């Protein structure tokens, strides 16, 4: 099986440049798998510590932006501490 990050060859350059990037593709194409593998690879290199964030938890707060933001940030803090 090929590494999921093989499909994202220019990301290492973007990361070293401290650039922002977006991974956009249809459902079920491997976006989450690729970003998790990339985060693991970046952290293993030792120069950076990658943290991933899903904003899916905010979906429960459709009409409460503050509640969505709090839930997203709390989930992120909990994951970073792990």
pTM: 0.69
* CA angle (3 as vertex; 72, 77 as ends), nearest 5: 20
Nearest Cα neighbor of 42 from 9, 77, 15, 2 is 15
Structure tokens at 55: 């904003």
The pLDDT tens digits of the residues spanning 13-67 come to: 888 898 888 888 899 988 888 888 888 988 998 988 888 888 899 999 999 999 9
């Amino acid at each position: 099986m090929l590494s999921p990050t093989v499909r994202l060859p220019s990301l290492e350059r973007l990361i070293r440049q401290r650039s922002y990037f977006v991974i956009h593709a249809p459902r079920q194409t491997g976006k989450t798998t690729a970003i998790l593998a990339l985060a693991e690879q970046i952290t293993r290199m030792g120069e950076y510590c990658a943290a991933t964030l899903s904003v899916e938890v905010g979906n429960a707060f459709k009409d409460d932006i503050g509640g969505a933001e709090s839930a997203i940030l709390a989930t992120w803090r909990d994951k970073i501490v792990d």
